[in-house]
Amino acid sequence: MLADKQTPSTVDIGSARIRRLDISCSKTLSTGQYGLSERLRHLTLRLQTSLELDRLLEFFFEEVRHLVPLRALSYRHLGTDFQLQIGEANGFDVSYSLSHSGNCLGELRLFSSRYVADPLLDQLENALDCLLFPLRNALLYRQAVQASLKDPLTGAGNRAAMVQALTRETELSRRHCQAVSIIMLDMDHFKHLNDTYGHQAGDAALKATALLLKEQLRNVDMVFRFGGEEFVLVLSNTGSEAAAVVAERIRAAIQNLFLLVGDKQLQLSASLGCATYQPSESQDDLLRRADQALYQAKRDGRNLIRVASA
């Protein structure tokens, strides 16, 4: 049975301290506080060694457990779509909305097997002071990395991100003998759309298609803009038959996607080629087979899917 939760305090750290100001001001420097300052100095130094959010929060959790009997940490930052949980998130909890210089740094929840008294909360909030600046830097780093791997028009991953994802997925496939498939998608008659209605219409079609692709896929699947009007979808732990089912679902969804240009409704369509990774082939070979299947779909009349042979 779960223990009763401690009354949440989803507030900024300064406000939390004000509630205990009369207690804090009456304290005198003691040997315990000297030990606290040494622990916080060590924490500060350790937090300066990484810009990776998961590593930073792991370091924080490991060090703070020397001060407060914590059993779990839960963190999320919606702006960078980052979530992390360490340990079993149950028992008494205390929550903080973190910020630095007016910038939101996410929501942090810390869990303990027993009620955390005010003196320990003071120590915890001193430790949180040490976290704020490194956390801000780590978030800025994550945002920069995300921007460098994202297509600015559609919000899908770019080719560099696709190479990273394929490298990771094919390595997992070799290690664990699990299937991974890709779908290469090309918008039909895209040049005609651009030439007739302008590049703004073409851009709108690409944005709408990218959004539709994300909606049609699982969270573990990935969408990348390969270039021009082409997209590559990486389907984790998905075999050939399942990939073909996904491709047909996407083809039908795009066919039902209408683009409003002025007073006209334009019907879109796409051709798709599927390929499933073979352990003996390179990443380029996998992409080449998917590309060949795609152009077979084009030659056969467009608005079709074709599956590459093994």
Write out the catalytic residue numbers: 229
For residue 28, the SS3 value is: coil
CA-to-CA separations, 272 to 52, 117, 120, 252, 310, in angstroms, rounded: 37, 60, 59, 11, 17
Strand partners, 224: 157, 232
Distance (Å, rounded) from C-alpha 233 to C-alpha 276?
Answer: 12
Q: What are phi and psi of 279, to 5 degrees?
A: -55, -25
CB 294 within 8 A of CB 273: yes
Query: Which residues touch 43 (CB under 8 Å, ≥6 apart)?
Result: 59, 60, 63, 64, 127, 130
Distance (Å, rounded) from C-alpha 259 to C-alpha 262?
Answer: 10
With tokens 């939101």, the residue in question is 104
Helix (H) or strand (E) holding 284: helix 283-299
CB 133 within 8 A of CB 56: no
Q: Closest by alpha carbon to 253, among 204, 205, 306, 215?
A: 215
